[in-house]
Structure 1
């Protein structure tokens, strides 16, 4: 009787596993047009997603609990287009990519503490082939439940700090500046990806300091240091990709370019936040600074020279194995320039920047739909006569915008400074349309007014000459950023001012 019942149970077990095997084979043979990946997100039906890019798996530590994420990554979201995602280019231990069906489900298979369906399936197929008997079936049942009884292995990420220290020695340094000096050594290519992601996950947002069309800017804290966190909305994903890519250009780091720290994406399952982390400057933008404060002639020259120095570094190409391509900003304005504590300036917001490819003599233009600020657009940009296939026109357009920034600063300088106003405030509405700017700048060929009081001040008079040479109607006649830098450096020397006074006395 016992033997008969045992045979019946074995027969029932055989039928059950045989149906399960047929179902598994059917799912395997299901044809798809794209790459199928294992997905553990609530948005994925049947734990499967489909993509034209890559499968990826990642692991992170949240509240001291190790979390695993398996999803698809579309090719359109990679930069440069067609390349692997930025976090898959380096051999990191916490994120991996692959390009075959369901290849990501085993990337972290040995990390978990419980058996998964994908671990059980090989055992089931082995039992089917070997024709396991009742005793082996009993042994297999104990085996499948065994992992639950095992003592879980110690997680390699016990706390946030130990995660960083154990996985990258650089995180043992005390400040971000120390880490940057250790990694870049002048190359300016940015921190390693693992360090970027570790820093981003330890930042605490404190308060919001700005808003824009891209999203918000927050002041954050990392190990007692202030950092600026630019949070892009999901619809501005391409802008986030582009700006992070430009900031990590080799040899870009410079004292007059906003210091890049990290880029990371935070997905809570409902929406994705895209973070760009940079140096924090408590004085805010040049626009905010000039709106609230006036400056003397020494500060005017110092600020102007620092902006020109940063722009000259952007425009310059550095030849070599790890050389820097020439870069044009395309949206230079007082709101995209930040004031440091020593009252020099840094150029930020590189989301619209273009790079010059010397080998092919082509321009790497971003795919984003954003355009520059209309008030600061050069005449050739407004009337669409600029040759966008060549790189030099982009640099000349930056120089025009720099001339308008010079005018904004000069208005707030002197014994009797004028109130802050944006360029062309007396010609166009507060939010001008392209037609308004085209009429004033291209048709009427007007430029911001230069007050008579500037002619009696040696520094303001010299600055006004520079700005006029920046906003010529003919782009080829404008100064280069390097020439502007050298001219402003001479204006700031006492000998230059003394010479100007003597020339004025001779004229009188």
Structure 2
């Protein structure tokens, strides 16, 4: 893709470096003459994309980006398509990259800082959930940081507007979405799940990663990982002091029984997000590394990039008399 894309030049965008690349698209930084600032432009080549992506995931992402307006969600400035089959999504630039890379460089956050960042993220999720939208791919790589290190949730390619049955219950999903290390056990097991509640599990993994600079579970053996998760075994390393309130929130976010997991309103009302006390933790501490995984052992991750979305198998609507494909 040339640095002098004629359509972008015509619209006043001057392309710069590539931020990320996928199978059928890439994200480039650019300067916008009209906005007088740098932006990120996701450029998707529909001719290279599989039909499932074009019919399911791309429309969902575009729909989500057009309706979401929240200070902790990446801002979308413009979406347009050319007759040549290219889709352009012009977004706010995450100047400081993604949260995973930031933690790899700076290490674990102190609780006072983690408290602010996590509250920003949780408020973004509440906004989505209150709009009956689940993200379904929450992970540190999809959380960008602006120039002032504020949280900016991104990548809504797996997001889904939720429907309800005639009794008002959320119609459940069956698609595996996201990365195993961040994914709730019910999703990994292929059990029909409420995507909002599964988002909460992912929040727990993210919070743990922020405060320990470790992943709570080693996903190199998914079957073993699920077994550990279902026993509600969470390693709290002795190498770093963590308040009882923070551990308690992580413990309840990583609740393997989905029916007992917190909803987003309960997360935001948790004592750790209301007060900042430092009291000794009564929770037993596991040896570091018992179940956790060093961040540097993971796969190479993207920053603000286009990626290939795929689902393992088709997604079926369940929980109502309608049993159709979508």
TM-based fold match above 0.5: yes
State the partner residue of 1:37. none
SS at match of 1:248: helix
| Alignment partners' CA distance in 1, 2:207 and 2:24 | 26
Instruction: Please say if 1:335 is aligned against 2:137.
Output: no
| Alignment partners' CA distance in 1, 2:63 and 2:255 | 32
Instruction: Please say if 1:306 is aligned against 2:116.
Output: no
State the partner residue of 1:470. 253
SS at match of 1:452: coil
| Alignment partners' CA distance in 2, 1:370 and 1:441 | 14
State the partner residue of 1:4. none
User: 2:164·2:171 contact (CA, 8 Å) conserved in 1?
Assistant: no
SS at match of 1:343: coil
| Alignment partners' CA distance in 2, 1:200 and 1:406 | 43
Deviations 1:398-438 (A, max 9, x none): 000110001110114xxxxxxxx4442xx333xxxxxx324
SS at match of 2:79: strand
Instruction: Please say if 1:261 is aligned against 2:77.
Output: yes
After superposition, residues 338-349 of structure 1 pair within 5 angstroms as 338-349=144-155
Aligned equivalent of 2:199, options 380, 389, 398: 398
SS at match of 1:357: coil
SS at match of 2:40: strand
| Alignment partners' CA distance in 2, 1:363 and 1:281 | 33
Deviations 1:271-327 (A, max 9, x none): x322211111211111111111133322111111111111111111xxxxxxxx311
Instruction: Please say if 1:497 is aligned against 2:273.
Output: no
Structure ranking higher on relative contact order (CA contacts 8 Å, 6+ apart): 2
SS at match of 2:269: helix
Unmatched 5+ residue regions in structure 2?
283-326
State the partner residue of 2:64. 246
After superposition, residues 84-483 of structure 1 pair within 5 angstroms as 201-212=11-22, 215-223=25-33, 224-234=36-46, 235=49, 236-238=53-55, 239-249=57-67, 252-268=68-84, 272-294=85-107, 295-316=109-130, 325-357=131-163, 361=168, 371-387=177-193, 393-412=194-213, 421-424=214-217, 427-429=218-220, 436-442=221-227, 445=230, 447-454=233-240, 456-458=241-243, 461-483=244-266
- Give the alignment's Cα RMSD to 1 decimal: 3.2
Cα separation, partners in 2 of 1:362 and 1:490, compared to 1, 3 Å: closer
Cα separation, partners in 2 of 1:264 and 1:451, compared to 1, 3 Å: same
User: 1:302·1:343 contact (CA, 8 Å) conserved in 2?
Assistant: no
| Alignment partners' CA distance in 1, 2:86 and 2:148 | 33
| Alignment partners' CA distance in 2, 1:409 and 1:200 | 42
| Alignment partners' CA distance in 1, 2:24 and 2:200 | 25
Cα separation, partners in 2 of 1:200 and 1:326, compared to 1, 3 Å: farther
Deviations 1:68-87 (A, max 9, x none): xxxxxxxxxxxxxxxxxxxx
TM-score, normalised relative to structure 1: 0.47
| Alignment partners' CA distance in 2, 1:365 and 1:449 | 30
| Alignment partners' CA distance in 1, 2:274 and 2:99 | 23
User: 1:282·1:341 contact (CA, 8 Å) conserved in 2?
Assistant: yes
Cα separation, partners in 2 of 1:275 and 1:380, compared to 1, 3 Å: same
| Alignment partners' CA distance in 2, 1:277 and 1:286 | 21
User: 1:237·1:274 contact (CA, 8 Å) conserved in 2?
Assistant: no
SS at match of 2:70: coil
Point out the structure with max Rg over C-alpha. Answer: 1
SS at match of 2:58: helix
Cα separation, partners in 2 of 1:255 and 1:201, compared to 1, 3 Å: same
Deviations 1:160-208 (A, max 9, x none): xxxxxxxxxxxxxxxxxxxxxxxxxxxxxxxxxxxxx999832221111
State the partner residue of 1:134. none
| Alignment partners' CA distance in 1, 2:98 and 2:181 | 17
State the partner residue of 1:176. none
User: 1:308·1:482 contact (CA, 8 Å) conserved in 2?
Assistant: no
Deviations 1:120-167 (A, max 9, x none): xxxxxxxxxxxxxxxxxxxxxxxxxxxxxxxxxxxxxxxxxxxxxxxx
Deviations 1:342-376 (A, max 9, x none): 3221211111111123586576899xx98322221
Aligned length: 266
Unmatched 5+ residue regions in structure 1?
1-61, 64-196, 317-324, 388-392, 413-420, 430-435
| Alignment partners' CA distance in 1, 2:165 and 2:229 | 40
Bigger helix share: 1
Moved >4 Å (runs of 4+)? 197-200, 358-366
| Alignment partners' CA distance in 2, 1:349 and 1:444 | 26
